[in-house]
Each structure stands twice: as C-alpha cells, then as structure tokens.
Chain A
Amino acid sequence: GDSVTQMEGPVTLSEEAFLTINCTYTATGYPSLFWYVQYPGEGLQLLLKATKADDKGSNKGFEATYRKETTSFHLEKGSVQVSDSAVYFCALGGGSARQLTFGSGTQLTVLP
C-alpha cells in the first residue's frame, strides 16, 4: 500500500537558519504530494502541493520539488522564522487509494 516516510523530529533551529525536512514515499500510480502544517491547537493547513513529477510547490518561502526518480518531496526554506514553529506533515493522495496518506510529522522549533 501507499506510505510516506518522514524525517524524524524534533528539529530545533535558530532564526534565519536553512531548513530541510526529508520526505520519501511509496505509491502505485501517479500521486499528488502535499505538505501540511499544524500549529498548536489547530487543524492542518495546506502549505504547498505538487501534482506531477518535477513540479515545484512553493508558498510563504517554503519549497518542495516532486522527484519521481528518488520518490522524494523534501521541504526546504532558506531562512526560518520563529513563527514557522509548528508540526509539518508530508502527505500523498491519489495513489492506490483516494484518501490522503500522511507521514508521522516533524516538530520544528525555531529559536530567536
């Protein structure tokens, strides 16, 4: 079945540091890939998405490129801020099943 493997957390960075959160997937067919963010006490917010190979999703300074050859969708940001502190989830949809399949989440803490 479909699965998502996500970089274990927690990750602690200083403000303005470079962020990478690794995500790899296993799926049949041609899934769409997503990054969701969850702030404390809230639901999930869609951060960015990519629907086909080599697509780059971007939003709020975050980027991720759909790499079919390495089955990866790593999240990057050049300069993190304290307000980026949250839990980040990688997800795939539209593989062998309709629903979203999530990774385990990565807790990011950014210190001033």
Chain B
Amino acid sequence: KAGVTQTPRYLIKTRGQQVTLSCSPISGHRSVSWYQQTPGQGLQFLFEYFSETQRNKGNFPGRFSGRQFSNSRSEMNVSTLELGDSALYLCASSLFRDNEQFFGPGTRLTVL
C-alpha cells in the first residue's frame, strides 16, 4: 500500500506570495492532519480534517488555511508569506480520527 505523498517536495517563494501544498493520504484513510516543523518551534499542529470538515485547529494565524476533498486528499494554503513561514510542512493520515498517524516526507518551504 502506498504511503502518504506530498507535493511538491521543495518550494521557494518570496515574502508576500501565497502557496498551496498538497497531500494524498494512504488509501482508505479519512483523516488528514498538518504539522509545521521548524528548528526553533519544533513540531506544531496546524489543523486536522475529517470527512471534508476541519475538526481541530492549532494556534496559527488565519493566513494558514486548508481543505479536504471528497477523496480525502487535502491541501493547505498559506497567504501573504512571511520569512518565519519557512519550514518543513508535514502531512499525516489516519484511518479514522484515531491517534496512529502516518506521515508523508514533507514539503520544504523556503521564503526569501
């Protein structure tokens, strides 16, 4: 069974731009969560989607948003990029809203 896939793997943007990251969960998994990983803040939860609805949200500004499609694929969007948004963005999927989450390889976003 294929794992969680994320595209693109690497992205370079400039301040003020917006970006969309994509995540395809493991086949059959219905819950998708997003995390931001930075050297300073570590791993921080962004949001969780299940059945196309945001179920939980971390402490991030409104510039960070996401959505989930009927096939469980998810996208996250960051608008008006700031230098501090440079990070590894990790997507994780789970079968239902349980806690065993399987992570993708991440998208490395660099904001210049």
How would you classify the secondary structure of chain B's contact residues: helix, strand, loop or mixed? strand
Q: Which of A70-99 contact B (CB under 8 A)?
A: 89, 93-94, 97-99
A89 to B48, CA, bound (A): 20
Cβ of B90 and Cβ of A43 under 8 Å apart?
yes
User: Could you tell me how many residues of chain A have their Cβ less than 8 Å away from some Cβ of chain B?
Assistant: 21
Report whether A44 and B99 are in contact in the complex, using a CB–CB cutoff of 8 Å. Answer: no
Inter-subunit contact B105/A98 (CB<8 Å): no
Chain A residue at smallest Cβ distance from B99? A93
A97-B56, A99-B33 given; A43·B48 CB < 8 A: no
- How long is the Cα–Cα vector from A43 to B103 in the complex, in angstroms? 6
| Contact present for B106 and A100 (CB under 8 Å) | no
**Chain B residues within 8 Å of A, Cβ to Cβ:** 4, 6, 33, 35, 42-43, 45, 48, 55-56, 58, 90, 92, 97, 99-106
